[in-house]
Amino acid sequence: MNPVDPFEQQLREAFRRVEPPPGLERKILLRIQPRQPRRLPSWFAVAASLVLVVGGSLGVMRWQEHQQRQREAERVRQQLALTLEITSRTLAKADQRLKSIGVERIRLQEVSSWQEY
Amino acid sequence: MARILILASMLLPLGAQQIDYSLFDRLAEKAKESAVVNLGPEQLSLLAGMQPKEGGKDLADLAKTLKGIQVRSLEFDSPGQYDLNEVRALGAKIKGSGTWMPLVTVKEKGEFTEILIRKGADGKSNGLLILAAEPKELTLVHIDGVGDIASLAKLGGLAGIPEIAGALGGGKKSESKKAPAPKKNDE
């Protein structure tokens, strides 16, 4: 009987079947399974929706208020324009009468100061 | 009793500054055309936020001083639709309050125009009133917070607001004449 070659003995040891440690199969399967997407809790979705709705509503309300203020300011401007138009027309008539009696120009501040004497 | 009298006397100056527009409101029913402007301080403050392309600062500054604007302008179909004496009485009542001082009075037969200013406690003018009565037109303009037409004239040309023209417009090129404004009364 030939003595076993040490190299051959090493090969036989290396290729000897070894039972896997317990749980190895489970670990490998866990590692290769695709990760399930993390689901947010339902309350988070509700809260986010509420924030969007409330924020959006506030934004729309602010914009509408701004538009309303703009419309109101324009109405005031038009009324001021009407006031100036009527004032100008009235003063022009008075001016015409004054000119007809020879008064060319009056600075109202000076008239006011004269009245104080 | 003394407290009531003191309170009444405190309220009297406020009442004196109130102008009675009931005559105009009543005559508006007979008028062919009428224009009414009622602007309070809150509404006028909106002008301060406007940003016209030119003169935005002038408009905003003046808007801050304006406290109120009341305008009644009536146009009638024919003369004789109102009693001129009632309008004269209104003018006399306003002047009689002691807070309004007449600057210019122009009278002709059947019509007159009066321009009055109101002086505040600090001696500065803070109100302008124009009362004009013509055979077919009756106008009252009351501007609170502005004491001279020159300030109003600054608004002219800003944000589409028309300019005030004429000798009384207080324009930039106005020249002065030291003669007092004569009263012409042909009635």
The number of beta carbons lying within 10 Å of the beta carbon of residue B11 is 10
Distances (CA, A) of B125 to A108, B14, B148, B151: 11, 17, 7, 11
Give me the percent of chain B exceeding a pLDDT of 70: 66
C-alpha A92: how far from chain center = 53
The strand pairing partners of B138, in sequence order, are: B74, B133
pLDDT in tens, B36-77: 999 998 888 887 766 555 455 666 677 778 889 999 999 999
Is residue B165 within 8 A of residue A88, CB to CB? The reply is yes
CA atoms within 13 A on the CB side of B51: 0
What pLDDT sits at residue A34?
76
Distances (CA, A) of B12 to A93, B8, B17, B20, B92: 35, 6, 9, 15, 18
Shortest distance between the Cα of A78 and any Cα of chain B, in A, equals 8
CB pairs under 8 A between A and B: 155
Shortest distance between the Cα of B161 and any Cα of chain A, in A, equals 5
Shortest distance between the Cα of A91 and any Cα of chain B, in A, equals 6
The strand pairing partners of B89, in sequence order, are: none
Take residue B108 and report the two structure tokens written for it.
């002709």
Residue B17 forms part of a structural domain: no
ipTM, two decimals, is 0.74
Residue B179 forms part of a structural domain: no
B45 Cβ under 8 Å from any chain A Cβ: no
Residue B99 forms part of a structural domain: yes
Indicate which of B39, B46, B114 best probes the interface with A, i.e. most A CBs within 10 Å of its own CB.
Answer: B46
Residue B1 forms part of a structural domain: no
What pLDDT sits at residue B124?
82
- Structure-token match 């409330």, residue found: A54
Take residue B145 and report the two structure tokens written for it.
């917070």
DSSP state of B46: G
What pLDDT sits at residue A101?
76
Residue B20 forms part of a structural domain: no
Q: What is the CA radius of gyration of chain A?
A: 49
> Distance between CA atoms of B137 and B76, rounded to whole angstroms?
6
- List CB contacts of A21: < 8 A, sequence separation 6 or more: none
What pLDDT sits at residue B180?
43
- CA closest to B129 among chain A residues: A87
Is residue B59 within 8 A of residue B158, CB to CB? The reply is yes
- List CB contacts of B146: < 8 A, sequence separation 6 or more: B62, B65, B66, B126, B127, B128, B152
Out of A88, A112, A114, closest to residue B117 by CB: A112
C-alpha A35: how far from chain center = 35
What is the number of structural domains in chain B? Answer: 1
Is residue B112 within 8 A of residue B106, CB to CB? The reply is yes
> Distance between CA atoms of B42 and B40, rounded to whole angstroms?
6
Shortest distance between the Cα of A107 and any Cα of chain B, in A, equals 5
Is the four-CA dihedral B135, B109, B117, B166 of positive or negative sign?
Answer: positive
Q: Which domain holds residue B129?
A: 34-169
B16 Cβ under 8 Å from any chain A Cβ: no
- Do A105 and B177 lie within an 8 Å CB cutoff? yes
- CA closest to A104 among chain B residues: B167
Buried b / exposed e across B88-106, counting CB within 10 Å, b at 16+?
bebbeebbebebbbbbbbb
- Do A72 and B177 lie within an 8 Å CB cutoff? no
Residue B22 forms part of a structural domain: no
Residue B28 forms part of a structural domain: no
- pLDDT category, B162, cuts 50, 70, 90? low
What pLDDT sits at residue B1?
59
Residue B69 forms part of a structural domain: yes
Q: Which residues of A touch B176 (CB under 8 A)?
A: 105-107, 110
pLDDT in tens, A61-109: 999 999 998 899 889 888 988 988 898 888 888 888 878 877 665 554 4
For residue A114, is pLDDT > 70?
no
Strands, E assignment, B25-110: 33-39, 68-75, 100-108
For residue B84, is pLDDT > 80?
yes
Q: What predicted TM-score, i.e. pTM, was given to this entire model?
A: 0.67
